[in-house]
A and B are shown apart, each in its own frame.
Chain A
């Protein structure tokens, strides 16, 4: 898989080469899929013409229903009908105290790690719930775009930590999706707005969704979306406003004692309805007729606002912090964009407007803007727009660190550092003869281990016995463009090393993901062997296509005749293998050709980098040269 496919501007792709790509907004309350078709980006609809898929999954024995069909079960079978699973992704039981989770879920016995839910379909991980939603959207994408998706971009809240990102990746793997990138939701929204308007300058994206809140500050200049700072709260959203509304109703109804689970669900549904109405009127007459509670009376906007003022203040506080992190004042901001259904709450709008001192933009439907932005990026990433100037430069949302003596956290990478990034830190032993060291990886801003999120723990063993302080242990953190972390540790004198991809304390192991994949509905129906053959063929063909295009373009300048011949022989061998149906042979030949082309790939990359800066005077008229730089080569 070594080839770097670089298509020069003006070289249009053949229509048949156009790849099927989509952007997926996997939301707390609703999910959407969007795609670029005939140059137009739009959300994709199901057969009945509906685009929003409620993020609700109902389990009953072997049957799984997703979306609107699952909704009716929410009152009758609350614990078999999983809503807001996004809030549970990558979360342990202790993380969920704040969200009244007990009333909404039947948690399986706590074995540590990510929470599991007890349902009529067995014990289910929130990752599997998300995978079911992704599968429905993926099928919709395939049906609309005329074949299986070549790749997708899935959005995540910018403030998602590593465990939550990893869980999202795992859900996509179980759903059989090829994820091109995890994209931060505010960045996606900026893309949807920025590409349309060609805006320049500083833009704040204020994204209050069903269960998460993000605020990001971006600098836009000529297709570059550079995130300067991001902040938020991955456990604050419309759900909390619903909770407050439910509280308010219970108070007014002077309800004594608790509600049963079914009444509770009905109450929440009513609470949401009243909340939404209060976005367009100042009073709603409510009639509650629940099995365990009857009440009739008015709910006033002012009462609701008094009840939720604290939540809104949280969002403003996070906004203030983002500006501070970037060293920007509110008056320097050129645009404020509202994203997420919860920004329809009038108090949220007025608070945002007051804080930034300008009316926010809401032209694009705040429920769709994230999916639309993701679709635009997916189209670029999959290779459909090779001459596109769009570039997204994102940051790490939360600092990463290691536990040191005394239960303190030493930061290795600070929040808002551009990704991808790699940083190393050296530690030493603190006891004579110490032969092992526990590496505890944490994410968060606080000094105490207990106040940060534990991502993973692993041991570096086999350190030769030395006096305390003599060993040099280097811990390397790498964060890729998806914001995913991997950590390795080694003792520098001896080279003893240990490495892990952070499969966090709150994640699934690779084996679990594979098992879930096997158990998954779609997979069971297919012949596994046929699927493997198909995948091997796709991989092999993709390599041949990429390599052939690259050789045509750069072969004459970068390859010697011998090298060219060797690669051509490799291509022929792979083509022969592709004509047969032996998976192993195809994989082996693909692997061989991939290795054989590594050097060529590296040379092309070097050439790319030289092109980036040579022959350009960048001072002064910064971007104007860049806009034309490509044509010069």
Chain B
């Protein structure tokens, strides 16, 4: 492993979206066993610093590959796709997003925890459906379509974050 390796190379797995997450987790632990600074405690600053850098890199790689949106974005990045800050998406999708946002606002106003939880659940299903579509396009090397999927996943992800924040608020955290 060196710092120019990509995250898939770090774990020595093939570049793909549909990963075996249990296998990834096992590889993550195997790597941390070797590079975690605990293995180098008391062996001087340089050794600990080096280990910390590696462990940090392994954590970053794992965080990126373990999470679908981060993994999808990373795959596109490896393919040289530069994601737009303000992408244009088809009106039907945007219209649905506006509706979802309005629903979330309404839930906030009523302060209903059960509705917030149901909303988060429904969003999670949309997110996995979108991820499956991404996987199909990515496998078929249809990068333009895959990129659009990532934009849609970004929208859904933002919305889900907002919904989870609301849920925490309603739970009194």
A617 to B, closest residue via Cβ: B23
Q: Are B43 and A546 in contact (CB under 8 A)?
A: yes
Interface string of B143-172 (1 = CB under 8 A from A): 000000000000000000000000010011
Residues on B with beta carbons closer than 8 Å to the beta carbon of A321: 171, 173
Q: How far is the CA of A546 from the CA of B40 in the complex (A)?
A: 11
On whether the beta carbons of B34 and A421 are closer than 8 Å, the reply is: no
The answer to whether B38 touches A2 (Cβ under 8 A) is: no
* Interface residue A499 (Cβ < 8 Å from any Cβ of B): no
Shortest distance between the CB of A378 and any CB in chain B (Å): 9
At the interface with chain B, which of A356-364, A368-376, A452-460, A603-611?
A603-611
Q: Which residues of B contact A613 (CB under 8 A)?
A: 11-12, 27, 30-31
Q: Are A380 and B46 in contact (CB under 8 A)?
A: no
B30 touches A180 (CB 8 A): no
**Docked pose: A337 CA to B28 CA in angstroms:** 27
Residue from A6, A389, A391 within 8 A of B36 (CB atoms): A391
Contact present for A317 and B41 (CB under 8 Å)? no
**Are B41 and A622 in contact (CB-based, < 8 A)?**
no
Q: Mark B1-33, 1 if CB is under 8 A from A, else 0.
A: 110000000011000000010110111011111
A181 within 8 A of B: yes
Check if B47 sits within 8 Å of A601, measured CB to CB. Answer: yes
Q: Does A326 contact B (CB under 8 A)?
A: no
Tally of A-B residue pairs with Cβ under 8 A? 142
Whose C-beta in chain A lies nearest to the C-beta of B43? A5
Which candidate, B56-64, B79-87, B93-101, B131-139, is the interface stretch facing chain A?
B56-64
Residues of chain B contacted by A601 (CB below 8 angstroms): 46-47, 50
How many angstroms between the C-alpha atoms of A546 and B46 in the bound complex? 13
Residue of A418, A543, A610, A629 near B63 (CB, 8 A) is A418
A497 surroundings in chain B (CB, below 8 A):
none
Q: Per DSSP, are chain A's interface residues mostly helix, strand or loop, or mixed?
A: mixed
List B contacts of A539 (CB < 8 A). 44
Complex formed: what's the CA distance from A382 to B46 in Å? 16
Q: Which residues from A are CB-within-8-Å of B38?
A: 181, 377, 380-381, 391-392, 481
Q: Is B2's CB under 8 angstroms from A606's CB?
A: yes
A609 touches B31 (CB 8 A): yes
Nearest CB of B to A346, in Å = 26
- The contact of B59 among A3, A418, A445, by CB within 8 Å, is A418
CB distance from B5 to the nearest CB of A (A): 10
Q: Quick check: A180 and B41 within 8 Å, CB to CB? A: yes
Given contacts A381-B41, A418-B59, A421-B59, contact A602 B11 (CB under 8 A): no
Chain A residues within an 8 Å CB radius of B75: none
CB contact between B32 and one of A320, A393, A598, A623 (< 8 Å): that residue: A393
CB distance from B135 to the nearest CB of A (A): 19
Interface residues of A in 583-615 (CB under 8 A from B): 594, 598, 601-602, 605-606, 608-614
Docked Cα-Cα span, A163 to B55, in Å, equals: 23
Q: Are A616 and B30 in contact (CB under 8 A)?
A: yes
| Chain B residue contacts of A224, Cβ below 8 A | 29, 32-33
Kindly state whether residue A470 has any CB partner on chain B within 8 Å. Answer: no
How near does chain A come to B18, taking the closest CB pair, in angstroms? 14
Q: How far is the CB of A318 from chain B (nearest CB, A)?
A: 9
B33 engages A618 (CB within 8 Å): no
B65 within 8 A of A: no
Given contacts A612-B30, A623-B26, contact A1 B43 (CB under 8 A): yes
Known: A221-B29, A393-B29, A618-B26. 11 other contacts (CB 8 A): A4-B43, A181-B38, A317-B172, A380-B38, A382-B42, A393-B36, A418-B62, A610-B1, A613-B11, A622-B23, A623-B26
A-B pairs, 6 with minimum CB distance: A1-B44, A381-B41, A622-B26, A612-B34, A2-B46, A609-B1
A-B contact pairs, 22 of them (CB 8 A): A1-B43, A1-B46, A2-B44, A4-B51, A178-B42, A181-B41, A221-B29, A391-B33, A391-B36, A393-B29, A542-B44, A605-B50, A611-B34, A612-B30, A612-B35, A613-B11, A613-B27, A616-B30, A619-B26, A622-B26, A623-B29, A626-B33
